[in-house]
Amino acid sequence: MKLRPLDDGVVIKPSEAEEKTAGGIYLPDAARQKPQTGKVIAVGPGRILDNGKRCPMNIKKNDEVIFPKYIGSDVEIDAVKYVILKESDILGIVEK
């Protein structure tokens, strides 16, 4: 199944939560923090401006981005978890 966001929507596959701390202590599932980074899987065509034209997206597929912990909608498709949010909710792009 494919997921295609509308307007300025972005589909992100969150990074895996850390399994152990920097000190080497393994964390149970309940203690793991929700990841704030992820890979962009799909982007919408852009929002429609007042003049009827589409605003181009700054985010593109395969970008690694940082987003707030508790924003967006969590969905699960074919046992894979995704986050869907607006482009304006993304805090930044991780450049390597």
Structural domain includes residue 44: yes
Least confident span in 12-21, 34-43, 75-84, 86-95: 12-21
Structural domain count of the chain:
1
The answer to whether residues 2 and 28 touch, using CB atoms and an 8 Å cutoff, is no
Q: What is the pLDDT of residues 1-53, one digit of tens each?
A: 688 888 899 999 988 766 666 677 666 666 556 668 899 999 999 999 999 89
In which domain, by residue range, is 39 found?
A: 9-94
Is 26 inside any structural domain? Answer: yes
Q: Is residue 32 part of a domain?
A: yes
What is the pLDDT, as a whole number, of residue 31? 56
To the nearest 10°, report the CA torsion of 43, 68, 89, 11.
10
CATH of the domain at 37: 2.30.33.40
**Amino acid at residue number 21:** T
